[in-house]
Amino acid sequence: MFEGFVDERVSVGDVDLRVRRAGTGPPVLLIHGHPRTGSTWHRVAPRLVDHGFAVVCPDMRGYGQSGKAALRADHSQQSKRAVAGDLVRLMRTLGHPAFAVVGHDRGCYVALRMALDHPEAVTRLVVMDGVPISEALARCDAKFAHDWYHWFFFAQPDRPERAILADPDAWYTADPDLMGAENHREFRQATHDPATVRAMLEDYRAGLGVDRDHEEADRRAGRTVRCPTLLLWSTRDDLEDLYGDPLAIWRPWAEHLSGAPIESGHHIAEENPEALATALIKFL
């Protein structure tokens, strides 16, 4: 994976981040979701480099081989605000004070938070397979609670860690042929590590508390994403089943919004990297 990329650790303050990067030209930050690492982009990142972008693929704090922050009672050490702050500092350290950001799954919440908290840094925003956390919770019904029960199970203390670590391969099923063998090995290493599992769960615990509070404060204050924003969603995931038109949910959050589905399951970067890279290159 990532032939020709620099693979290094970069200090951003509280934690060190594992980072892969390559290319010259307009900078693009790619943010993975749960339970993946930066390696989920291994089929997309080289395509962007080949088209003249400087591409940065970190493991978010807590995930993969990046550092784990000390736990806090309110879980704010894993808040999207904390993670977004890490990544803005990372990009500045790498010489990119302004950049485009692409976030998938839990990473799309980080990307949104980054665009709201650091509008001077984010030139273009791509959010994939998600709606703002506060919007999802405001629409929570029996279907959401049934299909997305993990949001609420992961928020419980201790028991999710015990359940997952009893058999990580049963909990986090994945196809190495679909993912790519090296990406799958990195994914398994992460999901078998107790510290990483705890940090990934803290991501969800923060989501139901401080992250929701931050988003609701944004709405009360009338803050929106000012840069061009692209929403992409996978046809074989459940975003449309849950919400109808996901663009309608995002319009109050982003002043310049466009979007489209991509034929894929949830992990678009692994399952349909060509279509994803084409959409990103056109937008970026």
Residues with catalytic roles: 105, 266
Tokens read off for 235? 């046809």
Residues 36, 200 contacting (CB under 8 angstroms):
no
> What would the DSSP string read from start to end of 231-244?
EEEETTSSHHHHHS
Residue 216's CB is within 10 A of a number of other CB atoms, namely 15
Find the helix or strand (DSSP H, E) in which 108 lies.
helix 106-117
Asked if 215 contacts 133 with a C-beta cutoff of 8 angstroms, the reply is yes
| DSSP per-residue string spanning 269-284 | HHH-HHHHHHHHHHH-
| Partners of 31 in beta bridges | 103
The residue type at 189: Q
Cis peptide bond prior to 252, omega within 30° of 0 = no
